[in-house]
């Protein structure tokens, strides 16, 4: 199992430049500790998650890192021109010396994105899956012609070509159709931090029923904080958990008004919301060293993970540095 960093670019201090620079510092620190991957999110029209230009952010990280693989978690393809995205991807793969991985998603539960990018929620998934098929052809072939429902091109060739023979592709989804699409194309799956272990296991089971290719096809992100005592870890992480819970419940209410049936918004076991504080804590890797070891071991045993991407859950940069260092020293080698 590889260890990754999950990068949300949260603007806790109402200072977007600080948020960006602190996230860069976390990636560089993770690389110095031997973390293998860093995964960046894409958000739009938010003063809190300030990462709208995801490929630009990856390009910057490519210039300040040397070994860590850089991935998108995820490019919201329904809101982009796939030919331009393909050109950006192949350029990035050359810039980072073949360290790029591409995760894709349909976006949600954020109705403003669909509104301002003129993409109905009912079309987001279909556009996303069609776009990645076009991109995949453009990356590795010349004189590409494509006739889809949403995208068309005639005899298009893009340059440069990727440095990697195959750039890893992941699909962030819990939708059965999209899971089947990922499996049939040997793309990986991505599981979000709030998703329960049962949901993740169900997704993996559906995928591996079609494609039993192994653990390298699954990446899961988890909110994370490790400290010397359980109470210290929870106390440090709780402000982040509460902020996330409140924001997502607000977005949930707004999305439901727009008829969003996203898997992100489902109730857990028909009762509790995925975004309740206790559910978020339960699904996170937060606690003392032994608690974190045991939680990670359970994920490994039940999911056979390819990558575990940790989202540091303190609002304090130095505390996150210390937590990642403690993970490196006393958790990673024991799981």
| Count of domains observed in the chain | 1
pLDDT at 260: 57
Q: pLDDT digit string (tens) for 128-162?
A: 999 999 999 999 999 999 999 999 999 999 999 99
pLDDT at 268: 46
- Its domain, for residue 272, covers 2-334
- Annotate 43-98 with DSSP letters as a single string: --S-SSB--S-HHHHHHHHHHH-SSSEEEEEEEEGGGS-HHHHHHHHHHHHHHTTS
pLDDT at 275: 83
Q: pLDDT digit string (tens) for 281-335?
A: 999 999 999 999 999 999 999 998 999 999 999 999 999 999 999 999 999 998 8
Q: pLDDT digit string (tens) for 228-248?
A: 999 999 999 999 999 999 888
Q: Exposed, middle or buried, 67 (CB in 10 Å: 0-12/13-18/19+)?
A: exposed
Average pLDDT over residues 12-21: 96
pLDDT at 269: 46
Going by their DSSP bridges, the two strands 2-7 and 37-40 should be labelled as parallel
Does pLDDT of 265 surpass 60?
no
Q: pLDDT digit string (tens) for 49-72?
A: 999 999 999 999 999 999 999 999
Q: For residue 29, give the CATH number of its domain.
A: 3.20.20.30
Average pLDDT over residues 22-31: 98
d(CA 82, CA 88): 10
Give residues with Cβ within 8 angstroms of 279, minimum separation 6.
194, 196, 268, 272, 273
Q: pLDDT digit string (tens) for 96-137?
A: 999 999 999 998 778 899 999 999 999 999 999 999 999 999
pLDDT at 309: 98
| Long-range residue pairs from 234-241, CB within 8 A, at least 24 positions apart, any chain | 234/281, 234/286, 234/287, 236/313, 236/314, 236/316, 236/319, 236/323, 237/281, 237/284, 237/286, 237/313, 237/314, 238/277, 239/315, 240/313, 240/314, 240/315, 241/277, 241/280, 241/281, 241/284, 241/313
Higher pLDDT, 213 or 258: 213
Q: What percent of the chain has pLDDT over 90?
A: 85
């Amino acid at each position: 199992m590889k260890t990754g960093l999950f990068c949300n670019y949260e603007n806790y201090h109402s200072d977007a430049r600080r948020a960006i620079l602190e996230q860069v510092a976390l990636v560089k620190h993770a690389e110095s500790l031997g973390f293998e991957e860093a995964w960046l999110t894409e958000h739009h029209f938010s003063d809190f998650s300030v990462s709208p230009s995801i490929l630009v952010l990856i390009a910057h990280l490519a210039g300040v890192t040397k070994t860590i693989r850089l991935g998108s978690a995820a490019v919201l393809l329904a809101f982009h021109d796939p030919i331009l995205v393909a050109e950006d991807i192949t350029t990035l793969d050359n810039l980072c010396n073949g360290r790029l991985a591409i995760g894709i998603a349909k976006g949600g539960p954020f109705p403003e994105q669909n509104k301002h990018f003129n993409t109905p929620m009912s079309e987001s998934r279909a556009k996303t899956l069609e776009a990645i098929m076009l991109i995949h052809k453009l990356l590795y072939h010349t004189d590409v012609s494509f006739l889809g429902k949403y995208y068309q091109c005639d005899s298009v060739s893009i340059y440069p070509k990727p440095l990697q023979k195959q750039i890893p592709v992941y699909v962030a989804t819990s939708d059965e159709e999209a899971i089947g699409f990922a499996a049939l194309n040997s793309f990986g799956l991505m599981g979000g931090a709030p998703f329960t272990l049962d949901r993740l296991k169900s997704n993996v089971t559906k995928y591996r029923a079609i494609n039993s290719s192994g653990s390298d096809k699954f990446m899961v992100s988890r909110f994370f904080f490790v400290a010397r005592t359980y109470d210290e870890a929870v106390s440090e992480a709780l402000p982040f958990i509460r902020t996330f819970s409140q924001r997502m419940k607000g977005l949930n209410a707004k999305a439901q008004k727009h008829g969003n049936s996203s898997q992100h918004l489902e109730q857990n076991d028909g009762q509790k919301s995925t975004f309740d504080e206790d559910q978020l804590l339960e699904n996170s890797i937060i606690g003392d060293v032994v608690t974190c070891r045991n939680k990670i071991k359970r994920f490994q045993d039940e999911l056979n993970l390819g990558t575990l991407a940790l989202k540091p859950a303190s609002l304090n940069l130095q505390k996150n540095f210390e937590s990642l260092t403690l993970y490196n020293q006393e958790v990673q080698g024991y799981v």
